[in-house]
Amino acid sequence: MGAPRAIALCQSFNGALEFQVGHWSEAEEALYESIDLFQQIGAADGEALSYQRLGILLTAQGQLDEGLSALEDGVMAAKQAKLRAHLQGRLYASIARNRLLAGDLAAADDALSLGQVLTESHGHCALCEALLLPVAVSVRIAQGNLAAADVYCRQLDEATARYGSHTWVALASQARGELAAAQDDIEEAITYYTAAQAGFQEAQNEYAVAQCNEVLARLQ
């Protein structure tokens, strides 16, 4: 049909799927096309979401500065969006992960706090919580606050009970594995990461499967 909005939506979704299966160059191309089209038609919601997906992709590839820049562009776009609180909450959660990987714990904590304020303003949201709660566990572990990390793990368990998908089971197991490893309970960490790996495999998220496998290789 050649409708720009439909093409933009398809390319944004296609970029997310290509990322999950490890086709990163195809994912990047699709997301850039999606952003360009959303900008042309003035669709800030779609632009912000595509920037968030691009930021996650670039961060996963180790392009941390480029990933941060994309996420910050997404925050700017989200300020004009109808679902600005949802979108900004997800973007700040992704910024927190990016800054954590960059070793900037203070910036990660700041982004996490902003994300929490925004997501709390609109109640439970599966997509927001899927990004925010796991990075909250990681930030608190990096800060050495394992008790707070455990609180977020329990919130992940509660969210898993609400949403119940393979992805949620895997996210909760991955977080529990990260906490167990931080507590030097290697056997329990291996058990949780193995469960997470199986859950991500069921969800066909090859990138997350690879992440779990890398951790398991270090633990075993």
Q: Is the pLDDT of residue 122 over 70?
A: no
| High-pLDDT (> 90) share of the chain, % | 79
For 14, phi then psi, to 5°, come to: -60, -40
Residue 22 inside a domain? The answer is no
Average confidence (pLDDT) over 76-82: 91
Please write down the HEC assignment for all residues of 168-219: HHHHHHHHHHHHHHHCCCHHHHHHHHHHHHHHHHHCCCHHHHHHHHHHHHHH
Q: Is the pLDDT of residue 165 over 70?
A: yes
Residue 181 inside a domain? The answer is yes
**pLDDT band of 83, cuts 50, 70, 90:** confident
Average confidence (pLDDT) over 51-78: 96
**pLDDT band of 215, cuts 50, 70, 90:** very high
Q: Is the pLDDT of residue 124 over 70?
A: no
Average confidence (pLDDT) over 46-72: 96
Residue 109 inside a domain? The answer is no
Tokens (6 digits) for 16: 């997310």
Q: Is the pLDDT of residue 161 over 90?
A: no
Q: Is the pLDDT of residue 1 over 80?
A: no
Q: Tens digit of pLDDT for each residue in 7-46? A: 999 999 999 999 998 899 999 999 999 999 999 999 999 9
Supply the range of the domain harboring residue 218. Answer: 124-220
Q: Is the pLDDT of residue 52 over 80?
A: yes
Give residue 91's pLDDT: 95
Give the number of domains in the chain.
1
Residue 133 inside a domain? The answer is yes
The CATH code of the domain that includes 139 is 1.25.40
Instruction: Indicate the pTM of the whole model.
Output: 0.93
Tokens (6 digits) for 29: 């191309």
Q: Is the pLDDT of residue 2 over 80?
A: no
Q: Is the pLDDT of residue 125 over 80?
A: no
Residue 98 inside a domain? The answer is no
Q: Is the pLDDT of residue 62 over 80?
A: yes
Residue 215 inside a domain? The answer is yes
3-state secondary structure of 132: helix
Find, among 173, 178, 181, 170, the residue nearest to 207 by Cα.
170
Q: Is the pLDDT of residue 170 over 90?
A: yes
Q: Is the pLDDT of residue 108 over 70?
A: yes
Residue 180 inside a domain? The answer is yes
* 173 vs 46: CA distance, rounded Å: 31
Residue 199 inside a domain? The answer is yes
